[in-house]
C-alpha cells in the first residue's frame, strides 16, 4: 500500500477510537500504524546502498511492477512476529505501549489483507527464521 493509503486508513481508525481512548493512546496507535513502514527504508538501503528517501519510493514503485513475478521481496523487520513479541514484552513493563502495539497490528492486518487481495501474501517473511531460510535461494534478491 502507499503511504497516503496508510495515512488515510490510520486517520479513520484513530478517529473511530477517539471516544474510547486517550490522546496519548491515539497518538501512539497512529505512530505504530505509520512508522512500522520504516523497515521498508532499511530494505531499500540494504538492496541499493542508497539513502535517499525519494529514491526509496521510486524503487518500491518498480518493485510493485514485478512483485507478482518474484517469490520473495526481502525482510521488513518491523512486520515480523518477533518484533511484535518484543513490543508485547515492552508493553508489559510500560502499558501505554499497548496502544503502539495496536497500531502495529492494525497496519499489519491491513497489509495482510492487501497482499492476500493481490495474490502475494508471502512476498515478505512473517518470521526472522523464514527470512534466513528464504534468502539462501541463489537467485535472491529477485529484484
Query: 96: which residues sit within 8 A by CB, 6+ positions away?
Result: 24, 25, 28
- pLDDT bracket for residue 1 (50, 70, 90): confident
Q: Which 3 state secondary structure label does DSSP give 16?
A: helix
Average pLDDT over every residue of 13-27: 98
Share above pLDDT 90 across residues of the chain, in percent, rounded to a whole number: 97
Determine the average pLDDT of the residues in 59-81.
Answer: 95
In this predicted structure, the answer to whether residue 40 has a pLDDT above a threshold of 90 is yes
Q: What is the mean pLDDT of residues 88-114?
A: 98
CA–CA separation, 87 vs 42, rounded Å? 19
Residue with C-alpha cell 481512548? 21
Q: Is the pTM of this model over 0.85?
A: yes
pLDDT of residue 90: 98
The predicted model gives 42-61 an average pLDDT of 95
pLDDT value at residue 21: 97
Q: Which residue has the cell 525519494?
A: 54
For the CA atoms of 37, 76, 73, 102, what is the dihedral angle to 10 degrees?
A: -60
d(CA 68, CA 118): 8
State yes or no: pLDDT of 143 exceeds 90. Answer: no
Amino acid at each position: 500500500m502507499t503511504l497516503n493509503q496508510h495515512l488515510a486508513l490510520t486517520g479513520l481508525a484513530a478517529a473511530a477510537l477517539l471516544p474510547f481512548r486517550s490522546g496519548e493512546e491515539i497518538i501512539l496507535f497512529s505512530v505504530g500504524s505509520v512508522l512500522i513502514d520504516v523497515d521498508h527504508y532499511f530494505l531499500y538501503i540494504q538492496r541499493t546502498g542508497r539513502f535517499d528517501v525519494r529514491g526509496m519510493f521510486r524503487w518500491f514503485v518498480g518493485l510493485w511492477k514485478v512483485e507478482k513475478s518474484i517469490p520473495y521481496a526481502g525482510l521488513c523487520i518491523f512486520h515480523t512476529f518477533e518484533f511484535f513479541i518484543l513490543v508485547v514484552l515492552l508493553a508489559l513493563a510500560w502499558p501505554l505501549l499497548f496502544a503502539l502495539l495496536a497500531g502495529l497490528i492494525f497496519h499489519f492486518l491491513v497489509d495482510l489483507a492487501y497482499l492476500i487481495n493481490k495474490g502475494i501474501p508471502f512476498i515478505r517473511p512473517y518470521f526472522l527464521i523464514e527470512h534466513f531460510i528464504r534468502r539462501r535461494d541463489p537467485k535472491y534478491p529477485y529484484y
